[in-house]
Structure 1
């Protein structure tokens, strides 16, 4: 199956914390960076998710928030991946930003032109991608 989401990260499930309705699943990338996803218990069972198995974390570029100075920031989003901006395509309405997050992985975000300008984003600059666990879809082979 091909999908339109451009952020597809393969990794290993390192933990599953089950609640009454949802589960928090952590997928560690080859770089060691964790991505946390919140899915239903039914999805965990239907996909046969288990600690140690390979899985993919899928994130739409439009669900990612970018920031540049997060040293003292406190946010509720579980996922924060920082890196270097490797490509920036700036348009009159939207801007596509590619961020090298380590381990040869690149994350893409689509934000407004105004936000990119306010943040002063430029190729070679530092930025952090922020996204909620509920924005992460899990895929398995």
Structure 2
């Protein structure tokens, strides 16, 4: 599989993960899914709170900046590369949540990228069963990446 992660940084935030880290986290989330044998591409856009709030308001009707938004893409015709969609990550929200949850910034970034990528694959957490399944998958992926369970109360990494 050839994975292309188009990284767009539209944020002035410090301590952002590298393109290599983001690609590694995306690849871990994609492992074992149908894109394993073909080429896949997605965009990760890192934004500040103004853009994050606008997108969340316009697409989800929630007037606040959230940590990660996922915009899956389904091609209307077969394509040589699977375009998975776009992730929009609000850097200040991720940093604030990491501090509030007593997690390292890199661990929370990894979690948000894995979480958003799973949404692009069709996973969701609308009901309890879906949420439990998605959380187990996220935990397995993050532990495989060397992080602790992000849902443990003391997941300070």
Which of 1 and 2 has higher RCO (CA within 8 Å, sep 6+)?
1
Greater helix share, 1 or 2?
A: 2
Normalising by structure 2, we get a TM-score of: 0.22
Greater strand share, 1 or 2?
A: 1
